[in-house]
């Protein structure tokens, strides 16, 4: 019979190997799924993982990788700080929406003025918007002990309604012939988050994501606050004993993740998306949860995981166009990845031993 034995300490090797094994297992089972759906599994996997990077149209897809990866990494870095401390912000999608709204609103308020300070102001507004939205669950948790998972999630639905209201009302393009949606910020130079180098996908959001990765790395490995974050997640009582004030940590972690999600939303709305519209959000806030776990809540891991997840998005779109693979299949594929990762994580902390049956 198979038994689990707790390892005396977590295995380094497995903690690096599990994400890779999980990706392979997902390819295998995802391929089976695609096969069941009537697509050639090998071709599907190749389309998803190879085509965007090295295929014929890679010159077009590679920049897309940055465009899709940046918001995922930015949000996931923020989430990972909280997750490390056992603070579960599940509402990044809402903070992303609000950040986009506040960022865009500041930009639109200046229209048609052209000035260098508009974009920086939008950045600040976006971060502030996301921060404020995340402060709601943070404050309620600190003050009333309310569960942050449920509150932050409820606020996603509220934010979605708010987005609809804004794109139909206050932020609607006055010259938009009555169509929902704001003015297109891509056509407003001072507010446009354009590619820093044309056609590379390298916009300010990508820069922000890289800075966030470095910042998180230094914070977690070199700074007392990062140590306290890890300590709180590993052993909350020991953290209190060490002198960590839980409420301060909750406000900080939720605040940081909200601000980063808000930034991601702001960079998206002023760049790739261009305008506030009812269906502006595409679920980055939720996919970032997968990215955070896939990256093992480690900044560098998240960077890689964000790239991988962006790849499945783009590859998925190609597969959709070329092979008729349904969009939902990619969503299932991503969900599967998270499953395998969580299941295989067992091997980091436990050893599987073959042993005689025993009364458990």
Which residues, 255 to 294, sit near another protein by CB under 8 A? 286, 289-290, 293
What's the DSSP call for residue 146? -
Nearer to another protein, 193 or 277 (CB): 277
Site for another protein in 151-210 (CB under 8 A): 151, 153-158, 161-162, 164-165, 168-169
Q: Does position 352 bind another protein by CB under 8 A?
A: no
- Residue 313 CB, shortest distance to another protein, in Å, is 13
Nearer to another protein, 176 or 326 (CB): 326
Q: Does position 345 bind another protein by CB under 8 A?
A: yes
Nearer to another protein, 209 or 239 (CB): 239
d(Cα 285, Cα 130) in Å, to the nearest integer? 12
d(Cα 303, Cα 70) in Å, to the nearest integer? 9
Q: Does position 321 bind another protein by CB under 8 A?
A: no
Nearer to another protein, 267 or 333 (CB): 333
Instruction: For helices 246-270 and 92-110, give the axis angle rounded to 10 degrees.
Output: 50
Q: Does position 243 bind another protein by CB under 8 A?
A: yes
Q: Does position 17 bind another protein by CB under 8 A?
A: no
Q: Indicate the SS3 state at residue 297.
A: coil
Work out which of 16, 40, 57, 147 binds another protein, going by CB under 8 A. 147
What's the DSSP call for residue 190? G
Q: Does position 48 bind another protein by CB under 8 A?
A: no
Q: How far is CA 351 from CA 6, 11, 338, 358, in A?
A: 6, 9, 21, 17
- Residue 214 CB, shortest distance to another protein, in Å, is 15
CB 278 within 8 Å of CB 164: yes
d(Cα 24, Cα 341) in Å, to the nearest integer? 10
């Amino acid at each position: 019979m198979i038994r689990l034995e707790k390892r005396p300490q977590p295995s380094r090797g497995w903690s690096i190997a599990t994400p890779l094994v999980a990706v392979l297992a997902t390819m295998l089972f995802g391929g089976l799924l695609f096969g069941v759906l009537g697509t050639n599994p090998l071709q599907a996997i190749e389309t998803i993982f190879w085509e965007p990077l090295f295929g014929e149209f890679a010159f077009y897809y590679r920049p897309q990788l940055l465009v899709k990866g940046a918001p995922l990494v930015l949000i996931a870095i923020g989430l990972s700080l909280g997750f490390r401390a056992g603070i579960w912000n599940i509402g990044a999608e809402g903070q992303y929406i609000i950040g986009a709204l506040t960022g865009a609103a500041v930009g639109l308020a200046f229209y048609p003025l052209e000035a260098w300070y508009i974009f920086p102001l939008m950045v600040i507004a976006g971060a502030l918007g996301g921060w404020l939205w995340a402060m709601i669950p943070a404050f309620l948790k600190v003050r009333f002990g309310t569960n942050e998972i449920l509150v932050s999630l409820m606020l996603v639905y509220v934010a979605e309604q708010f987005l609809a209201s804004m794109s139909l009302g206050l932020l609607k393009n006055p010259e938009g012939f009555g169509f929902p949606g704001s003015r297109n910020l891509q056509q407003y130079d001072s507010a446009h988050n354009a590619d820093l180098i044309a056609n590379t996908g390298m916009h300010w959001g990508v820069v922000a994501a890289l800075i966030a990765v470095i910042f998180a790395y230094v914070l977690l490995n070199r700074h007392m606050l990062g140590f306290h974050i890890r300590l709180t997640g590993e052993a909350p009582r020991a953290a209190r004993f060490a002198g960590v004030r839980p409420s301060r940590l909750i406000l900080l972690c939720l605040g940081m993740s909200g601000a980063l999600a808000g930034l991601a939303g702001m960079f998206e709305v002023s760049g790739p998306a261009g305008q506030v519209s009812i269906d502006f959000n595409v679920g980055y806030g939720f996919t970032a949860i997968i990215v955070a776990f896939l990256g093992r809540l480690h900044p560098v891991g998240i960077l890689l995981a964000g790239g991988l997840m962006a790849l499945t998005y783009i590859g998925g779109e190609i597969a959709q166009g070329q092979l008729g693979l349904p969009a939902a299949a990619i969503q299932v594929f991503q969900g599967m990845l998270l499953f395998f990762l969580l299941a295989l994580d067992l091997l980091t902390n436990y050893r599987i031993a073959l042993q005689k049956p025993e009364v458990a």
